[in-house]
Structure formats: C-alpha cells, structure tokens
Amino acid sequence: MTTDPAALRLTVGYVLLSSLWIFFSHEVPPALGFSVKLQEYLHLLTALLFILLTGTLLYLILYRHTKNHHQSQFLLANNEERLRLALDATRDGLWDWDIARRQVFFSDSYAALLGLTPKQLGNTREAWASRLHPDDRWLATTALDEDLQDGYYENVYRMRHADGSYRWVHSRGRLIRDAHGRPQRLIGIASDISRQRAIEDSLRQAAAVFDATQEGVLVTDARQRIIHANPAFCRITGYSLEEVLGQNPSRLKSGRHDTTFYQNLWNTLQTHGSWSGEIWNRRKSGEIYPQWQSIRVIRDDKDNITHYVAVFSDISALKRSQRELNYLAHHDALTGLPNRLLFTERITHALARSRSEQLRGAVLLIDLDHFKHINESLGHNVGDLLLKSVGERLQQCLPDGGTLARLGGDEYGLLYEHCNDAGQAAELAQRLLRSLAPPFRLDDHELYIAASIGISLFPDDTECVEQILRNADSALFKAKSSGREGYAFYVQALTDYARQRVELASSLRHALDNQELRVYYQPLHDLRSNRLVGMEALIRWLHPQRGLIPPGEFIPIAEDSGLISAIDTWVLDQACRQMKRWSGQADAPSFVAVNISSRLFGRGELEQKVAQVLEQTGLRADQLELEVTESAVMEDPATAQNLLTRLRALGVRLAIDDFGTGYSSLARLKRLPVNKLKLDQSFVRGLPDSREDAAIARAVIALGHSLDLMVLAEGIETAEQAGFLRELGCDFGQGYYFGRPLPAPEEQTGSTCGQPPEPEQNSVRS
Ligand code: C2E
Ligand code: MG
Ligand code: MG
C-alpha cells in the first residue's frame, strides 16, 4: 500500500491537535486552581467541544470527499459516454486485453463488427483467434506477440462475420505496463475496413488493367492537357509518358482529316458524351496509322467536365489483314491474277463507265487447247507451272487499263476497256495467241500450248455483265469448234470483218517494203482564175490480190497498228520529191498538200521529220502544205496548237481538212496558226440546190475570211458547184470537176513500179 502524504499530514495534524487538546484540558484547570466541580464541568465542556469540532471537521472532510467522488464519477461516466459515442460514430470497436488475467474485453461495437453480441464473441484471445481467416491467423497472432515488446500495435486481418463472410479489420492498440514495466494490458480499437479494402482492391485491379491492357489509354483534364497515359499508349505512339504529360493530344494528329472531321467529333462528344470511330494519327516516328478510338467525357456531380478519357487500339494490323483477306478473296492463289469475282466487278465498273462516257470495250475469254493432256501426262505440278507461265505471257500483251484474270482451270478472262472496235479486239486476240506460240520450258519439259479465244463487245452485244460473259463463252465455243487456236466474236459478221482487218493489217506491214503503196495527186484550183495552184498527195495501196485499196480502208488500220508514222513519212518524202520535180516546170503547182494523221501529233518527231525531208529534197518550206483534219485538232486542241505553231515556224503552210465535221471551238480556231480551211465535201455534195449545204458553205467561207484564212471547197464535181462556190467567194476548189487523184506523170508511164494508172478520166494537169 502506498502512503498518501496529504492524508498522512491530516492524520498527524489531527493526532497532535487532539493530544494537545487533551493535555491542556487535563492540565490547565488544576493549574489555574479551579474547583474540582468546575474542573469536571470544564472537562465535560472541552470534551463536548472537541467532539463538536472534530465532528464538524469529519463532516467537512466527508462532504468534500463525497463531492469529489461524485464529481469524478460524473466525469468518468461522461468520458465513457463520449468514448462510446465516438466509437459508435466511427463504428469502431474497443478491445481490452488483460494480459495477466488472460481475458479480453470486447465492446458491443466490436462484437457488432462481426454481427455478434459480446457474449457470443467470448472474452478470450483464443475465441478471438478462432474467428481469424486461416490465411491471416499466424501473422495476426505473431504480430500481436511481437508488438507487445514495443508499446504500439497495428495489424490488418480478416475475421469471420456471423453471416459466414470474412471482414477486413484494422486493429490498433497500445500496451500498458505496470509500475515494474511488466505488460499489464493491451487496449485498442478495431475498425471494419472491408468497404475501403474492396475499393482499394478494385482500384488496384483498375490500375492493373490500365497498365496491362493492349489498348492505349489517354486521360486529359478539362482543358485537354494530357494528365495520364498507359504503357500501351507509349508503345503504340512511341512517346514516353514524360513527353506527352501536359501536352495537347492534337500533337498526335496525322493531318489526314480535315477540320470538319474534328468539328463533328467535338460536337458528338459535347452532345452525347462519347465518340467512337476510326481516326488516323501519327506516331513519334512520323508514321501514320489507323486506330479505332473511343472518347468519353467525365463530368463531376455538378455536371462540369473534369476529364476526357480516350481508349484506342492500333488497327493497322487489322487493316493489313483485311487487305490481305480482300486480296485473297479477289485473286487466284496460283497465278496471283484477279479471280472471277474481281473480274466480274471490273466488268461491272467498265460497263458503268462505258454508259456514262460513251466508251466501248471487249471481254475476251481465253481457254487453253488440250490442257487436260498436259495435266494427265505430266502431272498437276507441271500443269500448275504452265498455267502460271501462260498467265505471265498473256499479262505481257495486256493493253493499258486492261485486266487479265484467271477464271478457273485453264480459262483466263481479259477485259479490254477503250477497245473502240472489233478490229482492235481481234488484233489483241492475235497478239495473245502469238504470245503463246514459243515453247514453254518447264521442269525439263518443252511444252507447246495453244488457246482459243471468244470475244464479246460491249455495249454493242449487251449491257449486262452475265450476258457479256455468256456471249464471250458462246464465242469461245465457236472458236473451239472451228478448229481451235483461233478467235471468234459473238457476232459472226464481226468475226469475218475482224479477220479481214487483221489480215489486212499483217499484209500492210509488208506493203511498204514490197513497194505496194502509191502516191496519187489531185489538183487544187483557184476558183476565180480557174488556175491550178497546188496538188494534194493521196495515198493508194496496190494490193497484189485485192487491187487498189482506198486510204479510208487501210489508214485506220495503219493508225491502230502504229504503221501510220512510217507511211505518212514515206508519203511526205515522195510528195516533196515530186513537188521538187514539178517546180520550175511551166504551169507547175505552187505547193503540194500532204495529209498528216492525228496519231503523229503527240510525237515530237513530226517537225524534225518535216524539216529533214525539206532539207533532203531541197524543197522550199512554202511549197509544202500540211493538212490536218478538224477532228484530229479538236481531239486534243492544246497539243495540236503546240505542234501546229512549231510546224508553222518552219515556214510550211497549214490547212484544216474536212472542216465542218469536227465540232471546232471557234475560240480555239481563232488561235490556230493555219492558212486555210478545207470545207468538207459532204457540204458541197448538195450544192447548189440544198439550202442547208448552201448555208453551211456560206457560213464557213465567211468565217474563214473573217479569220483571215483562205477557204477551199472539197469534192466539187460539177461546173454549177464550182460556179456557186465562186459566187460565195470561196477561194479554191478540189474535186473530180478539176481532176481526179492520179499518179504523177512519170509514174503514169510506169517508171517506178510498172503498174497501170488508176482509171480516172482527167489527167493531173487538167
Ligand atoms: P481528204 O484529205 O479529205 O482527201 C480528199 C478525198 O476526197 C480523197 O479521197 C479524194 O479522192 C476524194 N475526192 C476528191 N474529189 C472528189 C470528188 O469530186 N468527189 C468525191 N466523191 N470524192 C472526191 P481518198 O483519196 O480516198 O482519201 C480519203 C482520206 O484519206 C483523205 O481525205 C485523207 O484524210 C486520208 N488520206 C489520204 N492519203 C493520206 C495519207 O497519205 N496520209 C494520211 N494520214 N491520210 C491520208
Ligand atoms: Mg486532205
Ligand atoms: Mg477532206
């Protein structure tokens, strides 16, 4: 027991005071000589006074003690209530472990954490430990023992709730020691942190997803400054987090979308709160790539925008595989050529174009003859190799913009857009067949293979894709049944025509070398004086079997086959030589006119050739007139104007042939550096009776004169026509009336090739 100094002081004071009181009340009255009676009376009085005084003192002490006791009781109760309320408010539970007595006090709120009453929970450490989650038991109890050493205790563990679930409990406590430093009790509080723990768990999971997801995630604040991005973002864009933090996502823009695109995106975001779609962005490396992006607006509880979150995936690989799939779906695996599907699509487009642009085209079906034998005798490997090689050879003959497809087995399809007529299609078929003629060397085998070709023209034959293919197929059947290794058109007449044309084309190749071409000359007269002014050189082909072929029949073939350049150069050379021979003779023409094909326009060599011929023949430039047709000029006016200007610079004369048939633009015509318009014979034929022809002739003459151009009328066959045109003021005339085209006099005598002259009545100099 410990001594209380205040109590000791009070007790010692009381003993001293009462001892003195007793001493003086016994000793003082006798010493003062009081009587015994008085002494007894005083003695009684002092005893009563002592009792009164000490009684009063006792009362005061007891009163004060009781008051203090009540006061501290009240404070204690108050504190307890406050503590209870505080614990209630925090929903924390109180525990108090009396170490010496091995008992634990659990407050009501502690037991309530686990859905129990304190009684159900028990009051031992063992009872508490039995409710711990098996995984946490060892750690929780060990920590409790270890932490006993240093004054404070804190731990998190799971405890079984009455409903069987486990609750996360956060427990904190303090060790209280006795006067000798021995652990006496451990007291603390426990909180249920299951909710907080669940939030933390889901945040941890979200963070893991954020970090681990393959999609790029970008978070910006309301002012669109990047505040967070995940590793996938960095991997896809190539930027590190530090490089983009605080930046505006617009730095990722590819420049591929216009401002309207971004405006629409923002409008959708503002109105719907989210946007998703395909967008092209730029990586740090500068590479542009497609991504599928979803952007979401995040708002606070007052509906203010706080963040934007963008999630995107790089879809370049997807696009690539889509392209690959698309390629596989549209191409033949063996040859790499388009397959039937793509071929049909291309024909559909070509048909649509042919309708809108008035173009023509052809579809050719090419089927190998007797391919089956190769497959059967040499095996499919060799067969496959052959199919590949055939595809390659056919591909080499493909005209510009054409499509070659493998339609299956040994059948190929060829779409020839801009195929103007059957002749061109037939020539292509010939080229394809010729390309297969040389042997194929495959796997030590030398193989020969031929093919049959069926041709269908559009839009002539039909305007429906399926019908075009069916027509080409029946044409193919025709080609096969007429002896194979050939081609056939869907329409028989075309087959005949094309065959003739192809034959003509192949013999035209030799016509120049075989000296079968001739130049005839037709006089051009001054209408007023009736005098001869010039000669027009007109080509003729003296075919060994067919006799004289007019230019209208073979010039288009020469133009398509590329022979025209050689032919026109040859005529130019011949005409200039002839003109040179004429010049100096009496009544000689003052110039020779030579026709130039439009196919020579695009080539730079024409003016060199003209200059060269003039130089070689010694002819003056003004003795040569070049005629270009109106339609040729208007086909490509810019090129024509360019070329004509350069030709004019050489000093030669220029005339526009067949004027009135080519839809001239007057604006263009005004700028052309030409000297003469040749009114087409179709407007002369009806003169003088046809009012329309007369009106056109009058208008062309007036137009020509107003542009300072001479006008020549073609095809004048009668004196009336000549007179009528003279009346209209036409300058020159050409036609049977003045003279038919004839060979030059030297040639008429057969000096060049010994052929008889064309049976035309008039001589060259009428
Ligand atoms: P073009 O240049 O307009 O030639 C006039 C054509 O009208 C010639 O036909 C001529 O024989 C014919 N002709 C002349 N007077 C009369 C007539 O009174 N009545 C009728 N009905 N016809 C007449 P051709 O020789 O058959 O030549 C046809 C076209 O062939 C020429 O028309 C020219 O565009 C072209 N051509 C002729 N030779 C050449 C040449 O060497 N090179 C080129 N590129 N084209 C040529
Ligand atoms: Mg002409
Ligand atoms: Mg003409």
* Ligand 1 atom closest to 558 (CA): 44
Say what the pTM is.
Answer: 0.48
Give the domain-ending residue among 50, 75, 100: 75
Give the domain-ending residue among 320, 346, 374: 320
Q: Identify whether residues 121 and 222 lie together within a single domain.
A: no
Q: Identify whether residues 624 and 710 lie together within a single domain.
A: yes
Residue nearest to atom 46 of ligand 1 (CA): 595
Q: Identify whether residues 338 and 315 lie together within a single domain.
A: no
The Cα–Cα gap between 399 and 213 comes to: 52
Report yes or no on 430 lying in a domain: yes
Q: Identify whether residues 309 and 380 lie together within a single domain.
A: no
Average pLDDT over residues 181-200: 90
Q: Identify whether residues 475 and 518 lie together within a single domain.
A: no
Report the percentage of the chain scoring pLDDT > 90.
51
Q: Identify whether residues 374 and 261 lie together within a single domain.
A: no
Q: Identify whether residues 182 and 271 lie together within a single domain.
A: no
The verdict on the CB of residue 538 being under 6 Å from ligand 1 is yes
Cα 702 to averaged position of ligand 1 atoms, centre (Å) = 24
Q: Identify whether residues 439 and 588 lie together within a single domain.
A: no
Report the percentage of the chain scoring pLDDT > 70.
94
What is the β-pairing status of strands 517-526 and 732-734?
antiparallel
Residue nearest to atom 23 of ligand 1 (CA): 715
The verdict on the CB of residue 552 being under 6 Å from ligand 1 is yes
The verdict on the CB of residue 522 being under 6 Å from ligand 1 is yes
The verdict on the CB of residue 680 being under 6 Å from ligand 1 is no
pLDDT at 40 (0 to 100) = 86
pLDDT at 764 (0 to 100) = 39
pLDDT at 149 (0 to 100) = 66
Report yes or no on 70 lying in a domain: yes
pLDDT at 509 (0 to 100) = 85
Report yes or no on 503 lying in a domain: no
The Cα–Cα gap between 168 and 155 comes to: 10
Report yes or no on 498 lying in a domain: no
- The residue assigned the tokens 């020539």 is 427
Is pLDDT above 60 for 117? yes
Report yes or no on 315 lying in a domain: yes
Using the Cα atoms of residue 507, residue 510, residue 515 and residue 521 in order, give the sign of their dihedral.
positive
- 621-650 core/surface letters (b: 16 or more CB in 10 A; e: else): bebbbbbbbbebbbeebeebeebbebbbee
The band of 435, judged by pLDDT with boundaries at 50, 70 and 90, is very high
Of the candidates 244, 242, 251, 250, the one whose C-alpha atom is nearest the C-alpha of residue 226 is: 244
Q: Identify whether residues 614 and 745 lie together within a single domain.
A: yes
Q: Identify whether residues 338 and 310 lie together within a single domain.
A: no
Average pLDDT over residues 216-238: 94
Is pLDDT above 90 for 664? no
CA-to-CA dists, residue 401 to 207, 418, 675, angstroms? 56, 8, 39
pLDDT at 594 (0 to 100) = 96
Give the domain-ending residue among 264, 286, 320: 320
Q: Identify whether residues 477 and 538 lie together within a single domain.
A: no
Structural domains of the chain, count: 5
pLDDT in tens, 334-363: 999 999 999 999 999 999 888 888 888 999
| Residues within 5 Å of ion ligand 2, judged at the Cβ atom | 595, 627, 657
Report yes or no on 325 lying in a domain: no
DSSP-derived 3-state class of residue 297: strand
Q: What is the CATH number of the domain that holds 97?
A: 3.30.450.20
Report yes or no on 762 lying in a domain: no
Contact, 132 vs 159, CB < 8 A? yes
Q: Identify whether residues 257 and 166 lie together within a single domain.
A: no
Q: Is residue 705 classed exposed, middle or buried when 0-12, 13-18 and 19+ CB atoms within 10 A define those classes?
A: middle
Cα 531 to averaged position of ligand 1 atoms, centre (Å) = 21
Of the candidates 126, 169, 173, the one whose C-alpha atom is nearest the C-alpha of residue 147 is: 173
* Ligand 1 atom closest to 717 (CA): 18
Cα 527 to averaged position of ligand 1 atoms, centre (Å) = 20
Contact, 493 vs 714, CB < 8 A? no
Residue nearest to atom 42 of ligand 1 (CA): 595
Cα 145 to averaged position of ligand 3 atoms, centre (Å) = 121
pLDDT at 313 (0 to 100) = 92
Q: What is the CATH number of the domain that holds 573?
A: 3.20.20.450
Is pLDDT above 60 for 213? yes
Of the candidates 170, 178, 38, 23, the one whose C-alpha atom is nearest the C-alpha of residue 101 is: 178
Cα 533 to averaged position of ligand 1 atoms, centre (Å) = 18
* Ligand 1 atom closest to 716 (CA): 18
pLDDT at 492 (0 to 100) = 67
pLDDT at 483 (0 to 100) = 66
Cα 495 to averaged position of ligand 1 atoms, centre (Å) = 28
Residue 578's domain spans which residues? 512-749
- Ligand 1 pocket test, pick from 714, 718, 742, 764 with the greatest ligand atom count within 8 Å of Cβ, gives 714
Q: What is the CATH number of the domain that holds 452?
A: 3.30.70.270
Report yes or no on 61 lying in a domain: yes
